[in-house]
Amino acid sequence: MRPSHFNDFQDKAFNFQVIRQMLPYLFEFKFRVGLALFCLILAKVAGVSLPFVLKHIVDGLNVSEAQAQIVAVPLALLFAYGGLRFLNTIIGEIRDTLFGRVTERAMRRLGLQVFQHLHALDIDFHLSRQTGGIARDIDRGTNGISFLMRFLVFNIGPTLLEIGIVIGLFLVNYGWQFALVIIVAVSAYIGYSILATEWRTTYVRQAAKADSTSSTRAIDSLLNYETVKYFNNEHYEAQRYDTALAEWEVAKRKNRLSLFVLNAGQALVIAAAMTAMMIMAGYDVANGKMTIGDFVLVNAFMMQLFMPLNFLGFVYREIKGSLANIEHMFELLNRQPQVTEPNNPVELPTCAGKIEFKQVDFSYQPQRAILRQVSFKIEPGQKVAVVGESGSGKSTLVKLLFRFYQQNQGDILLDGQSIDSLSLQSLRKQIAIVPQDTVLFNDTLIENIRYGQPDANNQQVEQAIKMAHLDGFIAKLPNGAETLVGERGLKLSGGEKQRVAIARAILKGSPILVFDEATSALDSESEKAILKAFKTVAQGHTSLVIAHRLSTIVDADKIIVMRNGEIVEQGSHNELILLNGYYAQMWQLQQADID
């Protein structure tokens, strides 16, 4: 997957499908939306009235009658002008306050929906994703909703309404020539703004793409901080980051220059239109067809008309960009996981812990089979180990058991019930895992353990800590269980992280425990501590152990030996040694390494 999806939206029309998808969020507060639109119309009427009041003020000041009339009439109009100006502003603020709740709730709901959907997507998506780019897409998408709602409803619509009103007023009061100038000027302004914005969108898109690329590289580098240090690649990482920033800089420079061309063209259209209107109005004043107040009114209307239009290029580009960003977010929402809930999911109220694989075939890619006709049973309370060379499909069994992937053929049963018919929550609730690579949250030790059951009380957490033989380690820490473990648990050793993972699995309280090569990277002392914890935890549970070191699973009730995705041997340790087959060879090799 690319760091972010940047379609060439300069060649695309508005995606009204996106707007339709947003409508349910927009109309959750129908009364607020209606009240905000009423305030919008009221503010627009007050705004259109201002130039007329200003005209009468100027005309009132331009007469040579009695002093009382000169003072009384303009003073009343001046108060009216001030009242309308205040009303126009305060109604706009009320409108924004009312509509702000709508946009904020929409951003919240959609942001949560995307977050939940990302967690619902299959593991294949997450293995190929780039976190920085995805985070930027979500951020741009939610912000795009706020921008689109606010400007589409409160900028584009009202501006077009005001243009129509002003053209009508000029046509009725001053003749078709004035109305024609406005129509030509507004058409030229809008046409030029759209064409210029379409042209410069390329540079905006390039800058956004470079921004996501640089963000992805920065986050990837920081997440792999230790690896960078191990290989002395700080300078290399800085160069890669600077390369992305250089691309962003170039795109931004082109973007800025294209903005100059856009603004210069807009200013030229405005200046030409204002000049034409002023010449026509001045000519009519000189001929007695218009008053000075009319001249001021024409000027005020033109300024008032072009002020919102002055942002048209920006608004148009941002609306198209927002639509594209929202579309990227909806693309994430529309992406369907390969593993989905069954149509009528079955809930497991209790689970004895019996597991059965029946002739299971699986491949990540069609051309490479990972599992071939794998069949075995694990009875409740048994400890069953799976061993074999790297790439033989051991860990894939665990992923299929969790339904991270869907098997191509065959079936997997839990207490005689196909896991394909179980709800994902019900299935995964029955299984607790101690993974090979334990990744912790950047939080305290106790909160990382409590993650196994977030509503567990302190007594339950303390019991899990004792069973995982973690209490001695915690007692030595200055801050005890409140010690921060760092990003991905990097402040803890491998053995310490494994014991945290065991405590977390204990706290989950599942009848099935899975240990996925949990001791393969540990030293002998840590391994002994972990194995001691294993035995304590596994009592009364069904255990599936994926093992690399055969010495850790000699007490297993059954050992399944895999090779090239197939089960080649099954039996206890003693039975397999007597068989003198593949397992016996592996045992001899490992014993020779120990000696």
Q: What is the pLDDT of residue 453?
A: 87
Task: State residue 560 phi and psi, 5-degree precision.
Answer: -105, 125
| Structure letter (DSSP) for residue 337 | P
Q: What is the pLDDT of residue 8?
A: 39
CA atoms within 13 A on the CB side of 270: 20
Q: What is the pLDDT of residue 11?
A: 44
Neighbours of 11 (CB within 10 A): 9
DSSP helix, strand, coil percent of the chain (3-state; round to 5): 65, 10, 25
Distance, first Cα to last Cα, the chain = 47
Number of residues that make up the chain: 595
Q: Which residues contact 224 (CB under 8 A, 6 or more apart)?
A: none
C-alpha 173/C-alpha 423 separation (Å) is 71
**How far are the Cα atoms of 124, 130, 220, 299, 543 from residue 460, in angstroms, in the given order?**
35, 37, 36, 76, 22
Q: What is the pLDDT of residue 131?
A: 56
What dotted CATH number matches 358-430+541-595? 3.40.50.300
Q: What is the pLDDT of residue 222?
A: 85
Q: What superfamily does domain 9-334 belong to in CATH?
A: ABC transporter type 1, transmembrane domain (1.20.1560.10)
Nearest Cα to Cα of residue 514 among 546, 475, 562, 550: 546
Task: Sketch the domain layout of the chain as residue ranges.
Answer: 9-334, 358-430+541-595
Contact between residue 329 and residue 141 where contact means Cβ atoms under 8 Å apart: yes
Strand partners, 566: 563
Tens of each residue's pLDDT in the chain, 595 residues: 333 443 433 444 455 566 666 667 666 777 777 777 777 777 777 767 667 777 776 766 665 544 444 445 566 666 776 777 777 778 777 777 777 777 777 777 777 777 777 777 766 666 655 555 566 667 777 777 777 776 766 666 677 777 777 788 778 777 788 888 888 888 888 888 888 877 877 777 777 777 878 888 888 888 788 788 888 888 888 888 888 888 888 888 888 888 888 888 888 888 888 888 888 878 888 887 877 877 888 777 777 777 777 666 667 767 776 776 777 777 777 777 777 787 888 888 788 889 999 999 998 887 788 899 999 999 998 999 999 888 888 888 998 998 888 888 999 999 989 999 998 888 888 988 888 777 788 888 888 889 888 888 888 888 888 888 788 888 888 888 888 887 666 677 777 888 888 888 888 888 998 988 766 555 666 667 667 767 777 777 898 998 888 888 888 899 999 998 899 999 999 999 999 999 999 898 888 765 5
C-alpha 435/C-alpha 530 separation (Å) is 13
Q: Which residues contact 539 (CB under 8 A, 6 or more apart)?
A: none
Contact between residue 147 and residue 318 where contact means Cβ atoms under 8 Å apart: yes
Alpha helices in 477-581 (DSSP H): 494-508, 524-538, 573-579
| Structure letter (DSSP) for residue 152 | I
